[in-house]
Amino acid sequence: MVLSARGLSKSFGAFSAVRNVDLDIHHARVHALIGPNGAGKTTVFNLLTKFLQPTAGSITLLGSDITKTPPDKVARMGLVRSFQISAVFPHLSVLDNVRVALQRPNGLSTQFWLPASSLDRLNQQADALIETVGLKRERDAVAADLSYGRKRVLEIATTLALDPKVLLLDEPMAGMGQEDIGAVSNIIREVAKTRAVLMVEHNLSVVSDICHQVTVLQRGEILAEGDYETVAKDERVRLAYMGTEDA
């Protein structure tokens, strides 16, 4: 187990967005967090990555308590996330987006006396990542010019650049065409061989295809847990999320 949460809760005034959530994320497994809109999935993501401070509960990453750790330190410890709305550096090129992610792990982020060309040594690594996610032809394009789906792919490339131990993907397939969905599913399946992946995803065919474990949230609480087949057969889930017909 690489990431776990116990009794995780978050309230905004009188509104309780997440209540008493327990999660265990394991190495080399893809774990999906699903639920209807407003179920608290992204709030759980923000709590786990420390972009939000929990009202109650604790979070442990690789054996260390990170309940009070700031988000940048959590990222440096190996827990890296993507965002629901594609988070790229819009006026930087695709190559520069990936290089920015590579700068810190390669010790090239504080040198104000070195020329920008000193970052060229990261090109080989960046090009490999760009090729992995299929953005080779757009390498020198400005990120703002990419389609929404390609921006999501770029975000995955920058996330992978950190070689995280735990990867949190917030709706990675949102806005993607069918062709990209297949390619990104393969990428996630591949990267999950050597790390834990937790993803929020609405595309249930993707969830059934690549996820080993599914947690269903409803109104900030866990409704059901298990593999996809188990969850899909759960009557409460079918009623609350998937409908009464076949999931």
Nearest alpha carbon to residue 154 among 93, 72, 196: 93
Size of interface with other proteins, in residues (CB under 8 A): 46
Nearest alpha carbon to residue 48 among 100, 3, 109: 3
Please report whether residue 180 would count as binding other proteins according to CB under 8 A.
no
Q: 59, 129, 146, 223: which one contacts other proteins (CB under 8 A)? A: 146
Shortest distance, position 230 Cβ to other proteins, whole Å: 32
- Structural tokens at position 163: 């070689």
Please report whether residue 193 would count as binding other proteins according to CB under 8 A.
no
Looking at the Cβ atoms of 28 and 114, the one nearer to other proteins is: 114
The DSSP call for residue 173 is: T
Q: 13, 37, 91, 245: which one contacts other proteins (CB under 8 A)? A: 91
Please report whether residue 80 would count as binding other proteins according to CB under 8 A.
yes
Q: Is the dihedral of CA 208, 212, 217, 223 positive or negative?
A: positive
Please report whether residue 147 would count as binding other proteins according to CB under 8 A.
yes
Return the C-alpha torsion angle 61, 212, 233, 4, nearest 10: -10
Q: 76, 165, 212, 238: which one contacts other proteins (CB under 8 A)? A: 76
- CA neighbours within 13 Å on the CB side: how many for 139? 13
Shortest distance, position 153 Cβ to other proteins, whole Å: 12
Please calculate the CA angle 78-68-85 and round it to the nearest 5 degrees. 55
Return the C-alpha torsion angle 183, 186, 188, 193, nearest 10: -160
Q: Is the dihedral of CA 190, 191, 192, 194 positive or negative?
A: positive
Please report whether residue 175 would count as binding other proteins according to CB under 8 A.
no
Please report whether residue 118 would count as binding other proteins according to CB under 8 A.
yes
Stretch that binds other proteins, among 4-12, 21-29, 94-102, 239-247 (CB under 8 A): 94-102
Shortest distance, position 188 Cβ to other proteins, whole Å: 18
**Is 154 in contact with 133 (CB distance < 8 Å)?**
yes
Q: 1, 22, 65, 114: which one contacts other proteins (CB under 8 A)? A: 114
Stretch that binds other proteins, among 10-18, 74-82, 192-200, 237-245 (CB under 8 A): 74-82
Stretch that binds other proteins, among 12-20, 25-33, 36-44, 69-77 (CB under 8 A): 69-77
CA 112 centroid distance within chain: 31
Residues in 34-53 that interact with other proteins by CB under 8 A: 49, 51
Angle between helices 148-160 and 123-132 (to 10 degrees): 130
| Chain contacts with other proteins (rule: CB under 8 A) | 49, 51, 71-73, 75-76, 80-83, 87-93, 96, 99-101, 103-104, 108-116, 118-119, 137-142, 145-147, 158, 162
